[in-house]
């Protein structure tokens, strides 16, 4: 799944960029805090991805379980958008805000989709598009971090 690729890529970037002898007394604490926030975000999204992949789509509670996972994912995207971004990663803040907005819209659309009496293919497509868009913004954050960490 795309989420696993994304999480693996960003995790590798973070490990490579912040595994360089950082200490508690590091003068660039904002950078360390940001890296910790990104690492936490990646771990949380990976765990949710695994839970979503494990949903039995034939189970009666599958839609509810999926929506719970998506709500949790949305909360993590909100947290990502609220991280204080060091100047070194200029542009990451805007990408995180866009990712959060897209995920919020996706989750709202998925809730509408699963509460509707009949399946709405257009609504499903719009929800998936917004979800993919949010993940694309996260990919862009990872690329930005990688470019500035080399």
For residue range 27-42, list pLDDT tens digits in order.
378 899 999 999 999 9
What are the pLDDT digits (tens) for 83-108? 999 988 989 999 999 999 999 999 99
**pTM of the complete model:** 0.82
pLDDT for res 16: 45
Structure tokens at 53: 């992949």
User: What size, in residues, is the chain?
Assistant: 150
Predicted pLDDT at 112: 98
The 10 Å Cβ neighbour count of residue 74 is 19
Q: Average pLDDT of 38-64?
A: 96
Long-range CB contacts (within 8 A, 24+) of 53-61: 53/1
Give the pLDDT band of residue 24 (cuts 50, 70, 90).
very low
pLDDT score, position 28: 75
Position 7 pLDDT exceeds 90: no
Give me the pLDDT at residue 30, please. Answer: 87
pLDDT at 1 over 80: no
pLDDT at 150: 61
The dihedral built from the CA positions of residue 141, 142, 147 and 150, taken in this order, carries a sign that is positive
Query: DSSP E strands: which ranges in 2-148?
Result: none
Lowest mean pLDDT among 20-34, 68-82, 97-111: 20-34
């Amino acid at each position: 799944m795309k989420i696993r690729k994304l999480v693996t890529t960003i995790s590798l970037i973070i490990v490579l960029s912040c595994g360089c002898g950082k200490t508690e007394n590091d003068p660039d604490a904002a950078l360390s805090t940001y890296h910790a926030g990104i690492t936490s975000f990646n771990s949380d999204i990976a765990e949710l991805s695994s839970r979503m992949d494990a949903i039995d789509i034939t189970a009666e509670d599958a839609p509810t379980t999926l929506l719970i996972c998506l709500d949790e994912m949305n909360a993590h995207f909100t947290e990502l958008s609220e991280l204080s971004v060091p100047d070194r990663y200029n542009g990451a803040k805007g990408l995180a805000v866009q990712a959060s907005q897209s995920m919020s819209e996706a989750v709202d659309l998925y809730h509408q989709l699963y509460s509707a009496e009949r399946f709405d293919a257009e609504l499903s497509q719009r929800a998936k598009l917004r979800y993919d868009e949010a993940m694309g913004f996260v990919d862009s954050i990872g690329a930005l971090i990688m470019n500035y960490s080399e």
